[in-house]
Structure 1
Amino acid sequence: MNLELNNPALLDPEIVGNHTPDPLRFAFAKKKGPHAGGMAKPVPTELTQSALTNASSEQGNKGPRCLYIHIPFCRVRCTYCNFFQYASSTKLIDEYFEALKKELLWKAAMPWTQAFPFRAVYIGGGTPTDLSAKQIKQLGEMIRSHFPLTPDCEITLEGRINRFDDQKFESALEGGINRFSFGVQSFDTKVRRSAKRLNDGEEVLERLQHFVSYDSAPIVIDLLYGLPHQTLDTWASDLELYLESGAHGVDLYQLIEMQNLPMERLVEQGKLPEPANTQVKASMYQMGVEFMAKHHQRRLSVNHWSSDNRERSIYNSLAKTSAQVMPLGAGAGGNVNGISSMQYRDMDKYIEAGKADEFAAGMAFYSAPNNSLVNTIKAAFDRGVLSERVLPQGMFLALKPLFDAWQKNGLVNLSSGYLSLTLAGQFWSVTLAQNLIQVVSNQQNPNSLLKPNNNNIDKKSIKAA
């Protein structure tokens, strides 16, 4: 395979980065997006239902499978969030939950669903913890009753500490939820308030410690760096408080573009200070990596760590990379048997589709012919190392001009058939993965009309992975 990487156009700074003494902070101007994606061809609107029906009617391959369930409600909209759909209200949630149960039963009976077991389930949003205790328990029980699951299937409930009381927590456990992910973002009350987080940091810490004390399921948290009012000192404190919380794992995510988000408007109006620039966020990332190493936290990916063997982060590692994901709920995204889809965000359209026994897909795409290769690249860069053995024969060598340029620019190290990311490369991992996918896809499909596809959307698509 000749990738013609001697072509100077393929080795410009947009692809290989800038040659700088400080690649961590200056290799690229900014991240290209929250997740790397391949190329896909849109399914014509009139063929969407038949394409999804055919995909769900076949058993497909045995590869890893996940289930994503979207709960599109929040009590308030965080200033950095682009996923806000509906304000939480009992009436709306009850109506939605009935439609969700109908879709769950419908899709659970499909041949594709029953062919092989699911390795992970993620109930995301929105704020799934805004469901009632009864609904949380019922949802967990329905998942376990109607979907084939591996014996060690990870079932995660995402949410907030806010109004997630002991009754809800215990109901979730009774329903079979075996992992909890809380979006803490910061323990600093001033930072939290500016982002429209509802609880003081001290209360968040106390509740986390309380849930950990049950010793019944792993408790993991998200910390977000680069927020307004967040200094290097407050970030250092956030890292320390992660340890103090006793949480079993932590994701460190950087704030990305604020375009068209409430935070952007508040900054323009002078009501919030500018969030951190790329260089400061790079320093925060470095602090996080060094902190985790100092305290012997086990690294699971370029941005996720665990404090013990209880936390596995199965859904995040699979859904962002190689797994097929069945989507349930308004606003959910997934991919089944070569067809990726994004479901209606509009609740009325979602409910009407369910009543008509139709897929609630607002858009769908055919996976690219090189989808397996794209998934391999995404998985490798999420782990921080690409092996020659996982690529088609000869490809690693063909890509060596690109890899050499990355190594020269301080982003990777090449040794014995392995491309390992440096600290700078880890910070820019999504950008590097996207660039490699672009190079490979362009060479394999030089006249392709395919479009970039980022529709394998998981809960973290507002943040850099």
Structure 2
Amino acid sequence: MQPIPQALYIHIPFCTNKCHYCDFTSYILKGQPVDAYLDALELEMQRTVEIWKPETIKTVFVGGGTPTVLTPPQMEKFLASVRRWFPLADDVEFSMEANPGTTDKDKLQAMFDGGVNRLSFGVQSFDNELLKRIGRIHEVEDVYRSLENARAIGFTNMSIDLMFGLPGQTVELLEDSVRKALELDLPHYSLYSLKIEENTLFHKLYESNQLVLPHEDDEYAMFLLLMERIKERGYKHYEISNFAKPGFESKHNSTYWRNEPYYGLGTGAHGYVNRERHVNIKGVQPYIEACKTKLPRLDQFEVSEQEAMEDFMMVGLRLADGVKSSVFHAQFPNETLDYHFGTIINDQMDKGLLERVEIQDDIIYRLTDKGLLLGNEVFAAFLEDRE
């Protein structure tokens, strides 16, 4: 039996528009039954806690979509339902994704009053032309205004996302965005390379040779630039795509990277409870209808111990601290890390992609600087053939 989850993910699928690179479960807000969705979401909360009663929730993450498209009354209703069904720790990390174009003071106040204490802004770039090119609705001025409003309300724990490898982006343009981002002196930054996903506008353009992306060498230079500039400012590169001041690492996302259980609620949401993963029904109306009579599952399946061990390695090696033999053995009492994955580990060490360190009688494996740049190759080595 896994421990009861102490982390909660909730999906708000509505957006003002669909970004050109986005393949998440999200739907244009206009005409959507938002209040009915929030009612259905509360029904899923109720059914979930009846089956897997929570103890104390230490982290909450509300993602999307764009959760901040909710009106202040809708936001109040939603946040009240979370507190009604889930016992939140006094020091809970309560994160919500936010779009700089959808966060006025009234909405931020409703979020703050409802318990949200960490904001993750989808900034992506400090270049207005690039923002238009990727389908974002906000402009750079909206970023500064949103952060100013958030600070005035009382938010102190804030993060922004930046993207690199965008169409028409150069190393110089990225350096300008990084400089402006760091001038904000935020406690956390997330940095992601563009991935061309199916069922997106960018995928259609890419397939028809209409999407001009930076050369692979330039994208590599962008990643090195990001690491160098942000680490120069004293931020810890604690996960492949994330940098934080001490004490401001994302506690919720660390749940995923440690392969620990979590509740997942909302249309298209994923969850991991009692060594069983599930994904919910996609589509707003199908989700609403399903919640009237049952948990809105699209699929659920038991995770074998072998798969769980592979997942442990794949996600754990994303962390700068690496994977600890003691933690592996705690999750899998009948196994040891060196015995089960020793051949793969030694092979990756021979390639210079992993290193072995001993700290306080614990053996730790972590990516080298070279391995950090070739992370996907390392992760894949720990996965058996999966469809």
The answer, yes or no, to whether TM exceeds 0.5 is: yes
When residues 414 and 326 of structure 1 are mapped into structure 2, their CA distance, relative to the original with a 3 A threshold, is: closer
Structure 2 match to 1:15: none
Q: What do residues 151-186 of structure 1 show as CA deviations (whole Å, max 9, x unaligned)?
A: 222111112011211100010000111111111111
Distance in structure 2 (CA, Å) of the matches to 1:201 and 1:229: 18
- How many residue pairs match? The answer is 377
Distance in structure 2 (CA, Å) of the matches to 1:370 and 1:403: 16
- 1:276 corresponds to 2:214: yes
Match of 1:429 among 370, 375, 383: 375
Q: Gaps (5+ residues) in structure 2?
A: 330-334
Shift of residue 378 of structure 1?
A: 3.6
Instruction: Say whether the 8 Å CA contact 1:292–1:305 is kept in structure 2.
Output: yes
Percent of residue pairs identical = 25
Shift of residue 193 of structure 1?
A: 0.5
Structure 1 match to 2:24: 83
Match of 2:150 among 211, 220, 236: 211
Match of 2:345 among 390, 403, 408: 403
Which structure carries more relative contact order (alpha carbon 8 Å, separation 6+)?
Answer: 1
Q: What do residues 392-441 of structure 1 show as CA deviations (whole Å, max 9, x unaligned)?
A: 56642674553343334332234444433122312332441232133xxx
Structure 2 match to 1:124: 63
Structure 1 match to 2:295: 359
Instruction: Say whether the 8 Å CA contact 1:70–1:123 is kept in structure 2.
Output: yes
Match of 2:252 among 298, 310, 315: 315
Shift of residue 78 of structure 1?
A: 0.6
- 1:296 corresponds to 2:234: yes
Q: Gaps (5+ residues) in structure 1?
A: 1-59, 443-450, 453-465
Structure 1 match to 2:332: none
User: Match of 2:316, as an amino acid?
Assistant: A
Instruction: Say whether the 8 Å CA contact 2:105–2:153 is kept in structure 1.
Output: no
Instruction: Say whether the 8 Å CA contact 1:344–1:350 is kept in structure 2.
Output: yes
Instruction: Say whether the 8 Å CA contact 2:122–2:160 is kept in structure 1.
Output: yes
Determine helix, strand or coil for the equivalent of 2:168.
coil
Structure 2 match to 1:346: 283
**Match runs of 1:370-381 below 5 Å:** 370-381=306-317
When residues 91 and 362 of structure 1 are mapped into structure 2, their CA distance, relative to the original with a 3 A threshold, is: closer
Distance in structure 2 (CA, Å) of the matches to 1:61 and 1:404: 30
**Match runs of 1:46-85 below 5 Å:** 61-62=2-3, 64-85=5-26
User: Match of 1:286, as an amino acid?
Assistant: L
Distance in structure 1 (CA, Å) of the matches to 2:108 and 2:23: 27
Distance in structure 2 (CA, Å) of the matches to 1:353 and 1:292: 45
User: Match of 2:252, as an amino acid?
Assistant: Y
Match of 2:41 among 100, 124, 127: 100
TM-score (normalizing by structure 2):
0.88
Structure 2 match to 1:7: none
Alpha-carbon RMSD across the aligned residues, in angstroms, is: 2.4
Q: What do residues 284-331 of structure 1 show as CA deviations (whole Å, max 9, x unaligned)?
A: 22111111221101333222112353x230111103442212221111
Instruction: Say whether the 8 Å CA contact 1:127–1:160 is kept in structure 2.
Output: yes
Determine helix, strand or coil for the equivalent of 1:228.
coil
Distance in structure 1 (CA, Å) of the matches to 2:26 and 2:84: 29
Determine helix, strand or coil for the equivalent of 1:229.
coil
Distance in structure 1 (CA, Å) of the matches to 2:325 and 2:292: 49
- 1:137 corresponds to 2:79: no
Distance in structure 1 (CA, Å) of the matches to 2:307 and 2:344: 21
Shift of residue 355 of structure 1?
A: 1.4
Structure 2 match to 1:147: 86
Match of 1:156 among 95, 99, 110: 95
When residues 95 and 390 of structure 1 are mapped into structure 2, their CA distance, relative to the original with a 3 A threshold, is: closer
Shift of residue 344 of structure 1?
A: 0.8
Instruction: Say whether the 8 Å CA contact 2:26–2:64 is kept in structure 1.
Output: no
TM-score (normalizing by structure 1):
0.74
Determine helix, strand or coil for the equivalent of 1:95.
helix
Instruction: Say whether the 8 Å CA contact 1:209–1:247 is kept in structure 2.
Output: no
Shift of residue 351 of structure 1?
A: 1.3
Determine helix, strand or coil for the equivalent of 2:338.
helix
Shift of residue 261 of structure 1?
A: 1.7
Match of 2:274 among 329, 337, 361: 337
Instruction: Say whether the 8 Å CA contact 2:357–2:364 is kept in structure 1.
Output: yes
Determine helix, strand or coil for the equivalent of 2:20.
coil
When residues 121 and 196 of structure 1 are mapped into structure 2, their CA distance, relative to the original with a 3 A threshold, is: same
User: Match of 1:96, as an amino acid?
Assistant: Y
Q: What do residues 135-166 of structure 1 show as CA deviations (whole Å, max 9, x unaligned)?
A: 21222222123212222221111120112111
Distance in structure 2 (CA, Å) of the matches to 1:106 and 1:395: 37
